[in-house]
């Protein structure tokens, strides 16, 4: 059954249309993260914004123990990230499927023999890495290890 309502003016119709609630429409709960607007730089008081380090800060970061420790820490974080990404491609289960090696010690010896680095694994396509592992396994077996 359709109900027809006459409206006297367009503004009444617009108000009724904008405030219309469909009783059959389900409510969607999408659990989206809250959108945080970026701060308006023009409305910020002076003194806020981009900080440009000066030459003294550069020299301090370059030659101090703290700066050296920070650089070493960043290198360690990069190496850990590379190792995590490489472990998704080359891990003991993959080596076992490709070569048939089952012992962890033997798998580690094989990986040392191949010399495949995390950088190589991350920067090369998986098929090329697997082809290199298979070729390296053939030389590993031929060497009698």
For residue 14, pLDDT beyond 80: yes
Q: Give 46-95 pLDDT, tens digit per residue.
A: 666 666 778 888 888 889 999 999 999 999 999 999 999 999 999 999 99
**From CA 63, how far away is CA 136, in angstroms rounded?**
43
Name the residue ranges covered by the structural domains of the chain: 55-142
Residue-level pLDDT at 130: 94
Could you tell me the sign of the dihedral formed by the alpha carbons of 17, 21, 26, 27, in that order? positive
From the CB of residue 109, how many other CB atoms can be counted at a distance below 10 Å?
Answer: 14
Q: Phi and psi for 103 in degrees, rounded to 5?
A: -80, 130
Lowest mean pLDDT among 21-25, 73-77, 101-105, 121-125: 21-25
With a CB cutoff of 8 Å and minimum separation 6, the contacts of 5 are 16
> What is the DSSP-derived secondary structure letter of residue 39?
P
**CB–CB of 134/99 below 8 Å?**
yes
**From CA 137, how far away is CA 57, in angstroms rounded?**
51
Residue-level pLDDT at 59: 87
């Amino acid at each position: 059954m359709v109900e027809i309502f006459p409206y006297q003016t367009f503004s009444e119709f617009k108000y009724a249309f904008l405030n219309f609630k469909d009783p059959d429409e389900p409510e969607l709960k999408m659990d989206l993260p809250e959108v945080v607007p970026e701060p308006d730089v023009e409305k910020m008081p002076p003194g806020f914004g981009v900080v440009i380090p000066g030459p003294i800060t550069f020299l301090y970061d370059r030659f101090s123990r703290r700066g050296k420790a920070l650089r070493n820490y960043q290198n360690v974080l990069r190496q850990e990230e590379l190792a995590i990404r490489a472990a998704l491609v080359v891990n003991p289960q993959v080596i076992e499927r490709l070569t048939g090696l089952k012992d962890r010690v033997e798998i580690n010896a094989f990986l040392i023999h191949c010399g495949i680095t995390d950088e190589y694994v991350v920067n090369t396509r998986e098929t090329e890495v697997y082809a290199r592992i298979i070729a390296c396994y053939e030389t590993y077996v031929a060497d009698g290890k």
